[in-house]
Structure 1
Amino acid sequence: MAGKPSKPMTPFDKSVTPSYLYKWKLFLAFLPPSIQRFLAVYIKFTEFRYTMDYFRGLPFHAFSFQSISELAPYMDENERDMMNQMTSVMQMAEMMAMAQAGSTTGDPGASGPASPVDLMKAMMSGEDMEMFQNYMKLFDEELSASGSPAKKGDSSHE
């Protein structure tokens, strides 16, 4: 066990391990081997009993990517990176689904799939959104001031 970085107790372990068992686990390494074996089995058996009691009548809770950050302290760096990437992909898929649902709700203003601008807005925080809207306003003003009959998005404005 030496050399391994310690990890915090998981929420599950906190739920099924009473404080006295946790203390016994801490002192287990300092006891004679004959007592260690007996006490380790007793601790695990008691944890098993507490686990069975804990889940008796407990309602089911579905996994949510919203609380994924709570898992980070229990993972190594590679696992955290992979989980962050998965979370980003799931959030992007969720935003795409919301954008698609918004375009099919029968909204008079929504026609077809959401525009890239709408998708970008959905990903921005308040301060970024304000800056983005200011720039969009400036670009719109510049386009209208140029007096050109070309519309936004035409090849002459690329």
Structure 2
Amino acid sequence: MEQQDGNKVMAFDTLFSTNHIAMLKILLSCLDYQAQKSMAVYIKFLELQYTIHYYNQNPHPLCGCTGPDASRDLPSLCKELLPYCDEKEKKQIEQLCSLFQSMEMYREFSKTMETMKDMIPGFADMSDLFSSGDPSSGSSPDIMSLLINMLTPEQQEIFQMFGGNHNDK
């Protein structure tokens, strides 16, 4: 786990705790097993109670020092989550991140293709070579169909779940 990721967790834990709760956590190790169980539940109760009180007194959203949009990009968010995942969850997050990166690459590629069509006369005819259909038939499916067919069934399902119906123009 990177230091920055740990800092976010520690900052959250610090925000929703008090010095007295921290002292109880320290004393927890001095208690016998039965008392530890009860004390641990009591500590969590105090943290919940403090959190509710905090939000009643501070109706403002939480955001890090880097601003609210800094951690919104998916690859960074995925990277921060990975240390807390088991192997199966890591694989799923990596697949999801890969899918979104592929979609972003497609968007950039589409923009480039449109720009090239506008700038270079006759480029529209050349771009038909990149499609999966027959240019002479006049019905050439877009490259999105080709890319979607390259995804695994699970990735296709995730793509559709996130509004990837490419037939809606």
TM-score by length of 1: 0.49
Structure number, greater radius of gyration: 1
